[in-house]
């Protein structure tokens, strides 16, 4: 069983392709890459796991990039359930409430801007768990154009 707080207990929920590209196989964590899921759906998945007793390791609203601007979100929860924490349940519920109050923008983001949003989400995630973000980019498995 993975101990709470140990990297082996990190389950990264993400819809950001840069996360598996830079981090897959580079640590003891597990990545659940869900490219079909939206920002909100990643939050809902994390919320449901926290409600089911998984520990929330990173804040779901990381970054000052607003939820109606970027399509990408990565959240770390525990692989193992360690028991329900009501404060963490509240953080997840509040995050979804915050997402829902932003006015949808509906802009057409070009590839370059999408790449920047991926970069921000990835570097905030990497920073949270002391993963060397710059090295991850240099060694990524599928390099961007």
Partner 1 sequence: MKLELGFTQINDIQFSKECKVDNGTLYVDPEAVKAFMYEDDDVKAWVKDFTFDVAKPGESVRITPVKDVIEPRVKVEGPGGVFPGVISKVDTVGSGKTHVLRGMAVVTAGKIVGFQEGIIDMSGPGADYTPFSKLNNFVVVAEPADGYQDNKHEYEHAVRIAGLRAATFIGELARDLTPDETQVFETYGIKEGIEKFPDLPRVAYVHMLQSQGLLHDTYVYGVDAKRTLTTILNPTETMDGAIISGNCVSACDKNTTYHHENNPVVKSLFEAHGKTLNYVCNIITNENVYLADKQRSSDWTAKLCRLLDLDGVIVSQEGFGNPDTDLIMNTKKIELQGVKTTIITDEYAGQDGKSQSLADADPLADAVVTGGNANEVIVLPKMDKVIGMLDYVDVIAGGHAGSLRPDGTIEAELQVITGATNEMGFNRLSAR
Tell me the closest approach of the beta carbon of residue 70 to partner 1, in angstroms: 8
Do 28 and 49 form a contact (C-beta atoms < 8 A)?
no
Binding partner 1 (rule: CB under 8 A), the pick from 3, 51, 84, 127 is: 127
Calculate the alpha carbon distances from 73 to 1, 2, 14, 129, 138 in Å: 27, 24, 6, 16, 22
Distance CA 140, CA 134 (A): 10
Taking the least distance from each CB to partner 1, the nearer of 45 and 56 is 56
- Count Cα neighbours of 45 within 13 Å in the Cβ-side half-sphere: 21
Binding partner 1 (rule: CB under 8 A), the pick from 119, 139, 141, 142 is: 119
Taking the least distance from each CB to partner 1, the nearer of 86 and 103 is 103
| Segment contacting partner 1 by CB under 8 A, of 16-24, 29-37, 42-50, 106-114 | 106-114
Binding partner 1 (rule: CB under 8 A), the pick from 105, 136, 139, 142 is: 105
Strand partners, 56: 77
Tell me the closest approach of the beta carbon of residue 48 to partner 1, in angstroms: 18
Q: Which residue has the tokens 């599928």?
A: 142
Is 93 among the residues that bind partner 1 (CB under 8 A)? no
């Amino acid at each position: 069983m993975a101990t709470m707080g140990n990297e082996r207990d990190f389950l990264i929920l993400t819809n950001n392709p840069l996360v598996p590209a830079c981090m897959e196989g580079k640590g003891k964590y597990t990545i659940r890459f869900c490219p079909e899921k939206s920002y909100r759906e990643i939050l809902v998945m994390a919320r449901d796991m926290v409600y089911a007793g998984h520990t929330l390791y990173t804040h779901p609203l990381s970054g000052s990039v607003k939820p109606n601007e970027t399509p990408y979100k990565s959240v770390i929860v525990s692989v193992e359930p360690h028991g329900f924490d009501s404060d963490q349940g509240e953080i997840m519920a509040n995050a979804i409430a915050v997402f829902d109050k932003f006015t949808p923008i509906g802009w057409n983001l070009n590839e370059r801007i999408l790449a920047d949003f991926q970069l921000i989400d990835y570097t905030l995630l990497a920073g949270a768990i002391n993963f060397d973000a710059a090295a991850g980019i240099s060694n990524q498995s599928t390099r961007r154009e």
